[in-house]
Chain A
Amino acid sequence: MLRTVQQYLVCQPTGALPRIWGCGEKAWNCWVLLFVSLALFGCGFESRRSTTSLEPTSAGYPEGTITLLAPANPGGGWDQTARQLQQVWTAEGLLGVPVEVVNRGGAGGTIGLADLVTRYRDDSRMLMVFGQVMLGAILTNNSPVLLKETVPLARLLSEYEVVAVPPGSPYGSLPELMAEFRRNPEGVSWAGGSAGGIDHMLVGLLAQAAGINPSRINYIAHSGGGQAAVAVMGGHVTAGVSGLGEWKGHVEAGRMRLLAVSAPERVGDGMVPTIREMGLDVAIANWRGIVAPPGTDTDTRDWLINALSDLRESEAWQEILRENEWEDSFLTGSDFDDFLRQETATVDMTLRSIGLVR
């Protein structure tokens, strides 16, 4: 039996076969191979244990390094937020400890969330950037891990959404575009980020406000705002939706035209009208914040919230908000918890109307 298996594996019909598969006289070779790989596996586990065994002291917190988990690949909004936080914290020395950023991208941030909840439980030096998009992703992906398990710290910033069209588009204003949308909902293609994300939800809300069945929208999902921008700039879609900061450069370069912004009032230089001005009662913002892993005690939580408040007060952070066209929407404590509950309900409702969540 063993011999047959051996013959199958090594393609040797007959003849000299090793006594032990693969390991004959030169068995040490295989042992080297085995030990090196085992050692590596061991290292992987060992280093993890050493980070979790350092218990934070409630008085002198933090000890060691604070790690910011960006649940996205480099270049996106969450990654940018994490890196800007790191920059301010490091440059201003607000925490007194080193800060590092790790990326754990994919699936609307739910992979990072799963990591935080399962692997970094009780390790309150691992903080994660999260935001509106994650709420949607948890619902559409049927994520087994829920945000409820984490300890929310603060909402840091909000970014408004914009509706844009290619430079050669026949639609000069949002009402013109919406008129076509009403006439032929499927004929208007909308480019934006991941399915069920904030971009998708804005289109759903626009449809609802205009009396169009949201399940009829023709949404073309892309893996990021950059890809969606190419679809708009090349004129491959009717319109596109993304964050104001992300598409600002393309608008300045004349490669796309803004029709409206999703803010309650005009922002920046006030050149772009709001959606509300156009007679549609829609205003949403893509917000981002910070959560701590499950098991973070109250002392540590309060310490971290204080640290985030200090950060918010700093001139360096305010400068970063201005540069990126991010709104300062700092919110903590029970207000933030209430906001999260309410936001989760809104997201759930919107996604159900689009038909992404059943």
Chain B
Amino acid sequence: MTELSPLLGNDLAGGFAAALEPLNLLFGLVGVTAGTAIGVLPGIGPALAISMLLPVTFGMDPVGAFILFGGIYYGAMYGGSTTSILIKMPGEASSVVTALDGFEMARSGRAGAALATAAIGSFIAGTFATVMLMVLAPALVELALEFGPTEYFALMALALMSVGGLSGGSGSKGLVAILGGLALGTIGIDVQTGQPRFTFGVPGLFGGINVVIATVGLFAVGEVFWFAATSQATGLRSLPVDAWVKLNRQDWRRSIPAWLRGTFIGFFAGVLPGAGATVASFLSYTVERRMAARPELFGKGAIEGVAGPEAANNASAGGSLVPLLALGVPGSGTTAVMLAAFQMYGLQPGPLLFTQNSNLVWGLIASLYVSNVLLLVLNLPMIRVWVRLLQIPRPLLFAAVLAFATLGVYTLNNNIFDVGLAYGLGVVGFFMRRHNIPLAPTILAVVLGPLLEQEFRRAMSISGGDLTVFLERPVSAAILGTVVLFAIYPVVKRSVEERRES
């Protein structure tokens, strides 16, 4: 691929010619529209949507099919922010952090601005990620391969540290949330030994707690229960809606750096197979909070807290295409389904794909640019419509949400057990709200727990139980050093301030 660089302009032009063909343009439009809808619906993610579409695309030209899939992927990554911001009910783990400040913005009448910063951030992130995918893919593949179990462990530890900023006031409640999530994460068949843990012989638990079920259960179902219990006491008033959607000057000034940092973080997290969109969005939130001039605004409607993570989860979609296209290894659930699609067409992703099927690869890359533009054009005007959702009487809105959540969870495996599990977790979510235990750390812990554990055990197994490997390898040592700095920084800062005061 490196030797292709001089030809890059040519190939890309050819790719754009393919992507802008009327039929392919239509596929792109259908893709981003369907993707946005899929992202908005809780439970149904891009992986499921693409796998349902696979048989339909049998007879299609592969270029058209992958343009459709690319549109769905990018569209879904954006669409996830809508329910997070408007009703604090993320449908996927990767948009959980968006709810923290997005919903607070909506509550203070700034839903339009929150949706706009998510939409523009997604556009910028998607576009830059595609540029990086095009230019840096070969170099990044080497970087991704450098990441072994020790580096992954260090990265996951860093991401877990980021929840310090999510627990609101109480550290002990944050800890309860994390430990609860880690405990949920241990349920299921252990990868290293094949033994079931905490499954109580229930086959439905063998696969572990699906992150989507945890997210939908704790957030959406829990929120509905909470609403049903408290609406009489707190009133049924619908949220205020801002008349203008536009971002003001200050919003732009605060959003732009957040978008760029989010893009960078998201793209690199996406390149690493397994790390993915959730890790990216949480890391971006942490970075924004640390870099903010007024970190105390986070959790109360800071626009950076929406702009950064939303850019990050979109950029990670672009990043996860790097190992898929350049190496033939899927970096996320969605790219795993895309790999299945490649196999169906008899194509083997990897370095040879760029030479043997260059029109497909460049068509896909060009279509990602086109999809991004389509997404922005489609979604900026749509914000006015989405915001109207808030004017629907909340009992009706929440009934619909519960219906879609139930449907979405059921569709995951066509299993009623999953629906019961989501409702059970909804009850847990209810009591967590009752006791002001934050929910976001739990979701992050459910995602990270199994990774953290497996990578640690892999690292230990390979090194023969020698803990020093984490410090011998420079990348993991550097990341773990950052973890330690993050951990002691607040303590040091506090003691310095106390000394200054005295």
Among residues of A, the one whose C-beta sits closest to the C-beta of B273 is A230
Mask, A317-341, CB within 8 Å of B = 1, is: 0000001100000000000000000
> At the interface, yes or no: A18 with Cβ under 8 Å from chain B?
yes
> At the interface, yes or no: A49 with Cβ under 8 Å from chain B?
no
- The answer for the CA separation of A324 and B419 in the assembled complex, in Å, is 38
> At the interface, yes or no: A208 with Cβ under 8 Å from chain B?
no
B221 to chain A, nearest CB (A): 10
Given the interface contacts A141-B189, A186-B464, A227-B273, does A253 sit within 8 Å of B340 by beta carbon?
A: no
- The answer for the CA separation of A233 and B327 in the assembled complex, in Å, is 10
B65 to chain A, nearest CB (A): 14
B145 to chain A, nearest CB (A): 4
- Picked from A79, A86, A140, the residue with its CB within 8 Å of the CB of B195 is A140
Across-interface contacts of A281 in B (CB, < 8 A): none
Using a CB-CB cutoff of 8 Å, which residues 8-24 of chain A contact chain B?
8-12, 15-18, 21-24
Central interface residue in B191, B349, B393, by most chain A CB within 10 Å: B191
B57 to chain A, nearest CB (A): 11
Mask, B221-264, CB within 8 Å of A = 1, is: 00010001111110010000000000000000000000000000
**CB <8 Å contact, A236 and B148:** yes
Mask, A25-43, CB within 8 Å of B = 1, is: 0100110110011011100
**CB <8 Å contact, B58 and A30:** no
Contact stretch, chosen from B293-301, B370-378, B403-411 = B403-411
Across-interface contacts of A196 in B (CB, < 8 A): 194
Contact stretch, chosen from A98-106, A292-300, A303-311 = A98-106
**CB <8 Å contact, A36 and B206:** no
- The answer for the CA separation of A112 and B348 in the assembled complex, in Å, is 28
**CB <8 Å contact, B352 and A83:** no
Across-interface contacts of B323 in A (CB, < 8 A): 230
> At the interface, yes or no: A350 with Cβ under 8 Å from chain B?
no
**CB <8 Å contact, B395 and A32:** yes
**CB <8 Å contact, A195 and B229:** no
- The answer for the CA separation of A143 and B196 in the assembled complex, in Å, is 9
> At the interface, yes or no: A269 with Cβ under 8 Å from chain B?
no
Given the interface contacts A74-B47, A83-B54, does A29 sit within 8 Å of B402 by beta carbon?
A: no
Using a CB-CB cutoff of 8 Å, which residues 45-93 of chain B contact chain A?
47, 51, 54-55, 58
A196 to chain B, nearest CB (A): 4
Using a CB-CB cutoff of 8 Å, which residues 181-197 of chain B contact chain A?
188-196
> At the interface, yes or no: A346 with Cβ under 8 Å from chain B?
no
**CB <8 Å contact, B273 and A110:** no
Using a CB-CB cutoff of 8 Å, which residues 272-287 of chain B contact chain A?
273-274
Given the interface contacts A36-B399, A44-B419, A195-B193, does A17 sit within 8 Å of B51 by beta carbon?
A: no
Across-interface contacts of A10 in B (CB, < 8 A): 229-230, 232-233
Using a CB-CB cutoff of 8 Å, which residues 132-181 of chain A contact chain B?
136-137, 140-145
- The answer for the CA separation of A233 and B148 in the assembled complex, in Å, is 10
> At the interface, yes or no: A64 with Cβ under 8 Å from chain B?
no
**CB <8 Å contact, A24 and B232:** yes
> At the interface, yes or no: A108 with Cβ under 8 Å from chain B?
yes
**CB <8 Å contact, A22 and B399:** no
> At the interface, yes or no: B203 with Cβ under 8 Å from chain A?
yes
Among residues of B, the one whose C-beta sits closest to the C-beta of A29 is B395
**CB <8 Å contact, B203 and A36:** no
> At the interface, yes or no: A66 with Cβ under 8 Å from chain B?
no
**CB <8 Å contact, A33 and B224:** yes
Contact stretch, chosen from A217-225, A259-267, A271-279, A283-291 = A217-225
> At the interface, yes or no: A252 with Cβ under 8 Å from chain B?
yes
Across-interface contacts of B195 in A (CB, < 8 A): 140-141
> At the interface, yes or no: A280 with Cβ under 8 Å from chain B?
no
> At the interface, yes or no: B499 with Cβ under 8 Å from chain A?
no
Given the interface contacts A22-B229, A40-B407, A195-B193, does A80 sit within 8 Å of B340 by beta carbon?
A: yes
Report the tally of A-B residue pairs with Cβ distances under 8 A. 217
> At the interface, yes or no: B108 with Cβ under 8 Å from chain A?
no
> At the interface, yes or no: A56 with Cβ under 8 Å from chain B?
no
A167 to chain B, nearest CB (A): 11
Across-interface contacts of B204 in A (CB, < 8 A): 111
Among residues of B, the one whose C-beta sits closest to the C-beta of A229 is B329
Given the interface contacts A22-B232, A24-B232, does A220 sit within 8 Å of B395 by beta carbon?
A: no
**CB <8 Å contact, A30 and B395:** yes
- The answer for the CA separation of A83 and B54 in the assembled complex, in Å, is 9
Among residues of B, the one whose C-beta sits closest to the C-beta of A35 is B399
Across-interface contacts of A95 in B (CB, < 8 A): none
> At the interface, yes or no: A231 with Cβ under 8 Å from chain B?
yes
Across-interface contacts of B346 in A (CB, < 8 A): 323
> At the interface, yes or no: B413 with Cβ under 8 Å from chain A?
yes
> At the interface, yes or no: A96 with Cβ under 8 Å from chain B?
no
> At the interface, yes or no: B201 with Cβ under 8 Å from chain A?
yes
Across-interface contacts of A18 in B (CB, < 8 A): 232-233
**CB <8 Å contact, A237 and B462:** yes
Given the interface contacts A37-B402, A90-B58, does A234 sit within 8 Å of B148 by beta carbon?
A: yes
> At the interface, yes or no: A114 with Cβ under 8 Å from chain B?
yes
Using a CB-CB cutoff of 8 Å, which residues 166-211 of chain B contact chain A?
188-196, 201, 203-204, 206-208
Across-interface contacts of B415 in A (CB, < 8 A): 104, 115
Across-interface contacts of B343 in A (CB, < 8 A): 75, 80, 83, 324
**CB <8 Å contact, A230 and B145:** yes
Given the interface contacts A74-B340, A195-B194, does A111 sit within 8 Å of B203 by beta carbon?
A: yes
Central interface residue in A29, A229, A237, by most chain B CB within 10 Å: A29
> At the interface, yes or no: B132 with Cβ under 8 Å from chain A?
no
Given the interface contacts A26-B236, A36-B403, A230-B145, does A44 sit within 8 Å of B410 by beta carbon?
A: yes
A227 to chain B, nearest CB (A): 7
**CB <8 Å contact, A253 and B233:** no
Using a CB-CB cutoff of 8 Å, which residues 290-348 of chain B contact chain A?
323, 327-330, 333, 336-337, 339-340, 343-344, 346, 348
Given the interface contacts A221-B191, A230-B273, does A9 sit within 8 Å of B229 by beta carbon?
A: yes
Across-interface contacts of B350 in A (CB, < 8 A): 249-250, 252-253
Given the interface contacts A22-B232, A26-B236, A107-B189, does A187 sit within 8 Å of B464 by beta carbon?
A: yes
> At the interface, yes or no: A73 with Cβ under 8 Å from chain B?
yes
Given the interface contacts A26-B395, A74-B336, does A233 sit within 8 Å of B145 by beta carbon?
A: yes
> At the interface, yes or no: B147 with Cβ under 8 Å from chain A?
yes
> At the interface, yes or no: A62 with Cβ under 8 Å from chain B?
no
> At the interface, yes or no: A87 with Cβ under 8 Å from chain B?
yes
Central interface residue in A75, A227, A250, by most chain B CB within 10 Å: A75
A313 to chain B, nearest CB (A): 21
**CB <8 Å contact, B229 and A41:** no
- The answer for the CA separation of A140 and B189 in the assembled complex, in Å, is 10
A325 to chain B, nearest CB (A): 11
**CB <8 Å contact, A249 and B395:** no
**CB <8 Å contact, A75 and B329:** no
Given the interface contacts A22-B228, A37-B406, does A234 sit within 8 Å of B398 by beta carbon?
A: no
Contact sample, A vs B, 12 pairs, CB 8 Å cutoff:
A26-B395, A37-B402, A40-B410, A41-B416, A41-B419, A80-B343, A100-B55, A102-B414, A107-B196, A194-B191, A226-B330, A227-B274
Known: A75-B336, A101-B54. 20 other contacts (CB 8 A): A15-B233, A17-B233, A18-B233, A21-B229, A22-B228, A33-B398, A75-B330, A75-B339, A111-B204, A140-B195, A141-B194, A186-B464, A187-B464, A221-B191, A227-B329, A230-B323, A231-B149, A252-B350, A253-B328, A253-B351
- Sorted from nearest, which 7 A-B pairs have the closest CB atoms? A106-B207, A29-B395, A140-B194, A236-B148, A107-B206, A195-B194, A234-B145
